Amino acid sequence: MNDSRKPRRPAFRDPAALEALGERHDPIAELHAAHETAAVLLRMGRAAQDPAATQRLVALVDDVGLVTLADLWATRPAQSLPGALYRLYVLREGVRHNPAGVAREYEAGIRFTEPHHAIAGADPVGPDEVVRVADEILRGAFQGDFAVALERAAAFAHVVAAGRADITAGMRAVIGASRLQSFAADLSAAAALWRAGDLR
């Protein structure tokens, strides 16, 4: 048999040599980090008595960037604590990125989703109001009932999705509205899990 075709035993390499080959990923450590950071952030926010500390948590993405939170939380299931918190921050970031567009979509969606509009609480509707509501929802996650914050976020997403489907033409808008509906359903499910003590 030719030497080149003989099976070769794996070579032993020490951890430092393996690390030098490239970035190492430990999926279990990453999973624990995602859930632990979400739990710590929520505990810290709920224990804070200082409104300025709460506002810093609300504006966390402004400081660290959404990509940083995505690295930590985006791969976790939507119906988990890191998944739910990530979606609250994504919702706020989306509103702040395009407040005028979101306000138009929200206003257009009200007539299809009046009960959701009542829960979301964006009234009157304008760019400043939708930004305020997005901040209120996230602030409520730290200062109030976390399930209520998730339900408000879900309701807000439902209204925007209905408006987007109604006033924006094209397949991209339909896909975007469908994703928002799924987003809303996941937030509602996360709220139910939180009430049952099962959101982790």
User: Among all chains, which residue has been given the structure tokens 């209520």?
Assistant: 148
Burial 151-182 (b: 16+ CB within 10 A, else e): bbbbbbbbbbbbbbbeebeeeeeeebbeebbe
The yes-or-no verdict on residue 180 having pLDDT over 90 is: yes
pLDDT band with cut points at 50, 70 and 90 for residue 145 = very high
Taking only Cα atoms into account, the Rg of the chain, rounded to an integer number of angstroms, comes to 21
The yes-or-no verdict on residue 8 having pLDDT over 80 is: no
Burial 4-29 (b: 16+ CB within 10 A, else e): eeeeeeeeeeeeeeeeeeeeeeeeee
Q: How far is the C-alpha of 147 from the C-alpha of 68, rounded, in Å? A: 25
Other Cβ atoms closer than 10 A to 66: 18
The yes-or-no verdict on residue 28 having pLDDT over 60 is: yes
Give the pLDDT mean for 28-34: 87
Mean pLDDT, the chain, rounded, equals 88
* Cβ atoms of residues 159 and 116 within 8 Å: yes
What pLDDT sits at residue 116? 97
Domain boundaries, the chain: 26-195
Give the pLDDT mean for 134-146: 95
